A and B are shown apart, each in its own frame.
Chain A
């Protein structure tokens, strides 16, 4: 009975989403106060019904209701309790329900925290978000009903995909979705501004905090996914340029461009049309990502079942959103740039450069991701684009970004003497080069990437510190939340690039056939293989290896990599053993048994500074959150309402 109620709740949510899309918009167009006032109650109402549906599905997982097809294929009575709740989003239908729930939460948050927004603006923004919600709810109900019954009911469930039985799964999808869906807010503000015909700096001021929060969540979500792939897939890589990774990376790049261009539009009134376009693009790319992942057109870890009906639905939805918003943009976009003029050497120019490089990077990723699909459609054969394509072009695009980054904050708006920031940064550039030179001569096996790591890391960090110093000298040590966030995020970029380049250049990886007692030496660490024994987990049996790692005769750590065979479905999964630290990770994965004398295949890694990659991403995310709390945004909204 309950699952049917869940289904009914979804249908009611769909109806409310429809009303939310229509009534407040009509009210705003006709300046009808009562109609506009329906926006908030409708927003909360649809959230309530989505939440009910979500709770019902969670309940079905907790009581092992295997008469629900979705539960039967993604749970099992042996599934540990901590994975029963996240199992809800372990496959297509449930993860889409989570997506809709998060969208509902964002809509509710906009309704709650925009008390001081003029009513017509709020009504339009919520209505646009209502359209998006309507589209996804319809998708859920018509193509992917999570409450479909299985008759007769299954006696036992097929179990959650073992790859997903991991703490990473508990947080990665919700955080990532919060980021993806959050761009809907910036999109809704942009579309509402276009419909309302007032495309000034005001809408940007309102939407900036939302964009920053969404981008920060997306950053965290991608970093968590990368971390999960690192320790769960057993390959020891942190980024594969996999189509699905790319799908999340494109909106991230455009989102990063958007938060910078929003700053220009808000403060200087320039780049208005460009900011609108970026807001539309960021959300469209989020939708494109959903399409690529859900339609099964691409082969990937994340591609669930492929059902042509689903792909077609998302494609039409995508077409409507992108086509509709671009048409609206063409009709209503500001014809003249009314912003303040700026000289060739000014902060505006640097931010323009930032935007060009980031969007070019996004376009490059888009091309590499879609090219195989295009080639197949044109019958050019089945092609895949290798990681070196992305690696090479990304390096070429990021190099100028890294070079120019410290200049931006130190250059004045509108007009600046080129010599001023150059003079400020010259000594720090010198120090960065000195550090690189010292590092080069003191560290063994240093290649050009190692030198690049030190130069890039030091240049970005010192350049950011130079800005901090300037604030102490000129601003008497006063920092706005926006400045702190920026410094945090820019330092995060430094830490990230240092981690990436060090890991790329200094990592060492070895697949070996190991006899018990045999030792292997990598980068000064000795890995001694002490054999494999059987052990029993809650819903799996494991082969558990033991390795003693020593360095110069001293014990470092004992590692236990596992190979698990899950009771249901017979899936086998490698559980890598990792000893992590700020300076290096030791990573061991267990392969197959090679003979009956206890020999096993082992994969050994030493990965210097790999954690800096995720730590840098964490700093960027924190920076994004910090900016959103700048007092100015709250004040600006308050002023606008009076």
Chain B
């Protein structure tokens, strides 16, 4: 093998190695930072992992309860079929209201979803697409029922 070829081969090997390392790293970073969106029905039927996930749905009417004088707040999120109680101890977003859609990120602790972050829709007419899709699967978008616990 002549020296030029040999050098090129080394270069090629190095490039392949770098590409492989980059691919592994990216896949790993991606996998570790993915969070899935689930509906209350999926939570209640046991389809949800123990890991962090996002809970999407509507804040159940009449479910918001504050513990007086603290940040702690409890409410239920529903897809109009089933509902899941949520506990949160930070400041709720401006657009948070009963009967509007939210996405909460957190994990299940027992029967309660403990949220680290709650996002609400941005204006009156807008429902996050992923929530709307999830709701459509839960059929009855027009009822006000919060569904079974």
Contacts and interface: CB of A to CB of B under 8 A. Distances in A.
Interface string B106-135: 000000000000000011111011100110
B34 interface: yes
B129 A299 contact: yes
Given A574-B94, A594-B70, A601-B91, A386 B33 contact: yes
Most chain B Cβ neighbours within 10 Å, of A301, A591, A602: A591
Given A161-B123, A571-B124, A574-B94, A383 B26 contact: no
Contacts of A328: none
A383 B37 contact: yes
Interface string B85-108: 000011110110000000000000
A176 B65 CA distance: 42
B54 interface: yes
A594 B89 CA distance: 12
B35 interface: yes
Interface string A369-398: 001000000000111111111001100100
Contacts of A26: none
Contact of A234 (B22, B26, B94, B129): B94
Contact of A386 (B22, B35, B70, B122): B35
Given A364-B26, A513-B69, A599-B69, A592 B92 contact: yes
Nearest to B35: A384
Given A384-B37, A386-B35, A393-B25, A299 B130 contact: yes
Nearest to B30: A389
Interface residues of A, number: 48
- Interface-centre pick from A382, A392, A602 (highest chain B CB count, 10 A): A382
A569 interface: yes
B71 interface: yes
Chain A binding site: helix, strand, loop or mixed by DSSP? mixed
Given A589-B91, A601-B71, A388 B129 contact: no
24 contacts: A161-B123, A301-B122, A368-B30, A381-B37, A382-B133, A383-B35, A384-B35, A384-B54, A386-B33, A386-B34, A389-B32, A392-B29, A393-B29, A396-B25, A511-B89, A513-B70, A563-B94, A569-B124, A570-B124, A571-B95, A574-B94, A592-B92, A595-B68, A602-B91
In the A-B complex, the 10 residue pairs with the smallest Cβ-Cβ separation, listed nearest first, are: A591-B91, A382-B37, A386-B33, A389-B33, A595-B68, A299-B128, A511-B90, A572-B94, A389-B29, A513-B70
Interface of B: 22, 25-26, 29-30, 32-37, 54, 56, 66, 68-71, 89-92, 94-95, 122-126, 128-130, 133-134
